[in-house]
Each structure stands twice: as C-alpha cells, then as structure tokens.
C-alpha cells in the first residue's frame, strides 16, 4: 500500500512539474539567435524539391551549392497535406505525401548535420505539425508523415546534443496550405516564425506560438478516442468541405 502511495505521489509530482514547465515555457523569452548563430550566417529554408529529388545526388548538389555559405540553421519547411478518409484519397496523393514530407527532410538532415556540427552553435528545424503529435483522423497519411518528422527531430536532438534541433509542431497557420484561413485558432506565418524563434535552442519540440501551445495542451488532455470521434463526426465534415470549396474557387479563377 505504502509503495502504491509513493508511486501515486511521484506520478502527481511529475504531472505538476510538467504543467509548471509548460506555463513557464509560455512566457519564457527566446534566446538571442543573432548572437548565438552569428550575424551574417545563413538560414537555409527548404521549399520546393522539384523533379529528381529522390536521388542522393540531388541533395549533394544542394550541399555543394551552399559550399561558400556559412549556414547556421537548416529549416526543413517543405510539406503538403491531403484531407479525407484514407481509401477515398487518390493513390498519387498518398505517394506525394510520403515523397514530399518524409524523404527530403531525411536526406537534408543526413547531408547537412556533419557540416553544422563544425560550428560552435547551429540549428536544425523540422516543421512537423500538431497533427503529428497524436493520430488525427481524416489527416491519416499527413498525420503519420508528421509523426515521422517529429520523431526524426527528437531522436536527432538526443544524438546531436550540441545542435539546436527543434521539431516545430504548429496547429493551423495562414498560408496557401490553409487557403489563408482566418480564425482565432489560426496564426499568421509571421507569428509562427516568431514562435519558432522563441523556442529554438530551448527545447527539442514545441508548437511554437503560445496560441498553438495552448491548443496542443488542450487536445493532448482529451482522450484520443474522444478527440477523434468529435473531430470525425462533428468538425471534419464542415472543415473538409470548406477546404474543398476554397480549393475549387482558387483553381477555378486562377
């Protein structure tokens, strides 16, 4: 009995400490990144990977093209999403998510980390997603691909402790991906970047901006089954049809 009481106390203390750490993280200012990485150093942000990106030489070319540059931070930003019930998705979209979201980040980290390790301070940011923190129905392959990037970043953070490795796990951001959706849960791209700068070097994973950190804490506190039941039956149908309408309007008039 006494052992159980001690275990219970330990679990409660851990939870309490976790919450204190979370609240502290919301208000803690970021590091001075200019001082940390050096004024004039370069930040490489990955974008379109183009045809041929599934060969090693493609990534060697990127590394070689950066030869003369003092790259201090590599931000693996590239990513695409697709929403809907898994078997209703076109196979080409499933393939695309794996190709775009998983392969380039793996290769770029493999190529750039040895070079970054030569600097006193350097960083690797992998833009994951809140959808990669727990299985999110109707996001299936996207959710899985972001869990992949999240775990990649977090394992790299252990393997290379001298690097500032960060898995950035935002919720919704006003970008072309969300068709610049605006509501109280969606932050601007600038706010997302500011959130990133506040947590880089401080932690291995974070939602970044305080708004998304709060959303992360809230969603993680809800049992996964309940979250997915509510999401699938009450939120996703409207959410996905609005997305499809925006996509239709964008493609019909562009």
Ligand X SMILES: NC(=O)c1ccc[n+]([C@@H]2O[C@H](COP(=O)([O-])OP(=O)(O)OC[C@H]3O[C@@H](n4cnc5c(N)ncnc54)[C@H](OP(=O)(O)O)[C@@H]3O)[C@@H](O)[C@H]2O)c1
Beta bridge partners of 127: 168
Is residue 80 within the footprint of ligand X (CB under 6 A)? yes
Exposure of 108 by Cβ count < 10 A (0-12 exposed, 13-18 middle, 19+ buried)?
buried
Is residue 127 within the footprint of ligand X (CB under 6 A)? yes
Is residue 178 within the footprint of ligand X (CB under 6 A)? yes
Closest alpha carbon to 142 in 188, 173, 205, 100? 100
Q: What b-and-e string marks burial along 38-58, b requiring 16 or more CB atoms within 10 Å of the CB?
A: eeebeebebeebeeebeeeee
Q: Which residue is nearest to ligand X (CB)?
A: 79
Is residue 177 within the footprint of ligand X (CB under 6 A)? yes
Task: Report the 10 Å Cβ neighbour count for 167.
Answer: 28
Candidates 129, 140, 206, 215; binder of ligand X (CB under 6 A) is: 129
Is residue 79 within the footprint of ligand X (CB under 6 A)? yes
Candidates 41, 175, 203, 228; binder of ligand X (CB under 6 A) is: 175
Is residue 41 within the footprint of ligand X (CB under 6 A)? no
Beta bridge partners of 123: 73, 164
Is residue 228 within the footprint of ligand X (CB under 6 A)? no
Candidates 1, 29, 35, 48; binder of ligand X (CB under 6 A) is: 48
Task: Report the 10 Å Cβ neighbour count for 253.
Answer: 6
Contact region with ligand X (CB under 6 A), list: 23-31, 79-87, 106-114, 240-248? 79-87
Is residue 166 within the footprint of ligand X (CB under 6 A)? no
Q: Which is nearer to ligand X, 164 or 207 (CB)?
A: 207
Is residue 208 within the footprint of ligand X (CB under 6 A)? no
**Residues 81-120 within binding reach of ligand X (CB under 6 A):** 81, 100
Torsion angle, CA of 186/190/192/196, rounded to 10 degrees?
-170
Is residue 69 within the footprint of ligand X (CB under 6 A)? no
Candidates 123, 170, 201, 216; binder of ligand X (CB under 6 A) is: 170
Beta strands in 134-211 (DSSP E): 164-168, 173-174, 187-188, 205-206
Q: Do 72 and 119 meet the contact criterion of CB atoms below 8 Å apart?
A: yes
Q: Which residues bind ligand X (CB under 6 A)?
A: 47-49, 77-81, 100, 127, 129, 170, 172-173, 175-178
């Amino acid at each position: 009995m006494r052992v159980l009481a001690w275990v219970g106390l330990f679990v409660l203390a851990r939870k309490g400490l976790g919450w204190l750490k979370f609240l502290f993280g919301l208000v803690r200012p970021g590091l001075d990144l200019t001082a940390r990485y050096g004024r004039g150093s370069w930040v490489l942000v990955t974008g379109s990977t183009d045809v041929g990106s599934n060969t090693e030489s493609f990534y060697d070319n990127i590394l070689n093209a950066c030869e003369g540059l003092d790259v201090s931070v590599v931000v693996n930003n590239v990513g695409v999403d697709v929403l809907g019930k898994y078997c209703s998705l076109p196979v080409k979209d499933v393939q695309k998510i794996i190709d775009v979201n998983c392969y380039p980040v793996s290769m770029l980290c493999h190529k750039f980390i040895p070079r970054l390790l030569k600097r006193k301070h350097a960083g690797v940011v992998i833009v994951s997603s809140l959808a990669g923190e727990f299985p999110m129905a109707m996001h299936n392959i996207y959710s899985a691909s972001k869990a992949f990037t999240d775990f990649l970043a977090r394992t790299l953070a252990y393997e290379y402790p001298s690097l500032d490795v960060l898995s950035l796990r935002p919720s919704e951001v006003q970008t072309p991906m969300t068709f610049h959706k605006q509501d109280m849960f969606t932050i601007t791209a600038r706010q997302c970047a500011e959130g990133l700068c506040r947590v880089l070097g401080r932690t291995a994973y974070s939602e970044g901006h305080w708004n998304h950190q709060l959303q992360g804490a809230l969603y993680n506190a809800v049992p996964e089954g309940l979250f997915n039941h509510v999401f699938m039956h009450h939120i996703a149908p409207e959410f996905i049809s609005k997305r499809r309408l925006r996509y239709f309007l964008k493609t019909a008039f562009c």
